[in-house]
Structure 1
């Protein structure tokens, strides 16, 4: 297990997880999202290859439509 910071709160997950795995585990797959790791935006095409490490700071932002 490793611990990351997810949107400002501690979050534990199995070692060897990617950003894509995290999004899927959170039930957010298929949603309009932007992800940043350690304040660096990660393009969606790279989520499957971006392994998470202990103490990574992950920010997930959902796009919300409106006027």
Structure 2
């Protein structure tokens, strides 16, 4: 299945959850990350159960410090 994450294409296994996608894309622990799929914010409590669909547009936003 092909999805786009921050304007970059990835091929993932079918029935891939947000949590599984993050481990593939980030290749480390997902701390301080917000996730939106097709412009809808996904609460962290749903990352393990929210399945991605073919063609989904995913946006990852990393929190930063500073002012």
* TM-score for both structures, normalised by structure 2: 0.89
Q: Would the aligned equivalents of 2:5 and 2:59 in 1 still touch at CA under 8 Å?
A: yes
- TM-score when normalising by structure 1: 0.89
Q: What SS does the corresponding residue of 1:48 show, helix, strand or coil?
A: coil
SS, match of residue 50 in structure 1: coil
Describe how 1:11-50 pairs up with structure 2 within 5 A: 11-25=10-24, 26-50=26-50
CA RMSD of aligned residues (A): 1.1
Gaps of 5+ in 1: none
Size of the alignment, in residue pairs?
A: 66
CA contact (8 A) 2:22 2:30 kept: no
Runs of 4+ aligned residues of structure 1 deviating over 6 Å after TM superposition are none
